[in-house]
Amino acid sequence: MDFSLEEQHTDLRTLTAGLLAREASVERVTAHEQSGAPFDTTAWKAMAQAGLLGLVLPEDEGGQGFGAVELAVVLAEVGRRAAPVPALACLALGALPIARYGTPEQRRELLPAVADGESVLSAAYREPALTGTATTARADGSGYRLDGVKIGVPYATVAHRLLVTAHTDSGEAVFVVDPAAGGFTLTPSHTSHGHPESRVKLENVAVPADARLGDGAAGFLVDHAAAAVCATGTGVLAEALRLTTEHIRTREQFGRPLATFQAVAGEIADVYIANKALDVTTASACWRLANGRDARAHLGVAGYWLAEHGVRALHTCQHLHGGIGVDITYPLHRYFAWARYLAHSLGGAGEQIEALGVLVGDGTGEVA
Spatial CA neighbour of 126 closest among 231, 215, 196, 226? 226
List, in sequence order, every residue forming a beta bridge with 186; answer none if it has no partner: 200
CA distance 174 to 283: 26
What pTM was computed for the model? Answer: 0.94
Running DSSP on this structure, what letter comes out for residue 267?
Answer: H
List, in sequence order, every residue forming a beta bridge with 157; answer none if it has no partner: none
Residues of the chain with pLDDT > 90: what percent? Answer: 79
Residues 212-222: tens digit of each pLDDT: 999 999 999 99
Spatial CA neighbour of 183 closest among 143, 150, 152, 145? 145
CA distance 227 to 301: 11
Residue 364 burial class via C-beta count within 10 angstroms: exposed 0-12, middle 13-18, buried 19 and up: exposed
Running DSSP on this structure, what letter comes out for residue 126?
Answer: B
pLDDT of residue 308: 96
Domain ranges (residues) in the chain:
7-119, 123-211, 217-362
- In this structure, which CATH number among 3.40.50.10860, 3.55.50.30, 2.10.240.10, 1.10.540.10 belongs to the domain 7-119? 1.10.540.10
Give me Rg for the CA atoms of the chain: 20
- Contact present, 173 and 217 (Cβ < 8 Å): yes
- DSSP letters along 311-342, please? HHHHHHHHHHHGGGGG-TTSTHHHHHHHHHHH
pLDDT in tens, the chain (368 residues): 566 667 888 999 999 999 999 999 999 999 999 999 999 999 999 999 999 999 999 888 778 889 999 999 999 999 999 999 999 999 999 999 999 999 999 999 999 999 999 999 999 999 987 556 789 999 998 899 999 999 999 999 999 999 999 999 989 999 999 999 889 999 999 998 989 999 999 999 999 999 999 999 999 999 999 999 999 999 999 999 999 999 999 887 887 888 888 999 999 999 999 999 999 999 999 999 999 999 999 999 999 999 999 999 999 999 999 888 778 888 999 999 999 999 999 999 888 998 888 888 877 766 65
Q: What is the largest CA-CA distance in the chain?
A: 78
Give residue 128's Cα distance to chain centre: 19
> For the domain 123-211, what is the CATH code?
2.40.110.10
CA distance 177 to 191: 24
pLDDT of residue 33: 92
139 SS3 class: strand
List of residues 6+ apart from 288 with CB closer than 8 A: 294, 295, 298, 366
- DSSP letters along 185-198, please? EEEEE--TT---EE
Q: Which CATH architecture has domain 217-362?
A: Up-down Bundle (1.20)
Residue 272 burial class via C-beta count within 10 angstroms: exposed 0-12, middle 13-18, buried 19 and up: middle
- Contact present, 362 and 294 (Cβ < 8 Å): no
Residues 90-99: tens digit of each pLDDT: 999 999 999 9
Residues 215-270: tens digit of each pLDDT: 999 999 999 999 999 999 999 999 999 999 999 998 878 878 888 889 999 999 99
149 SS3 class: strand
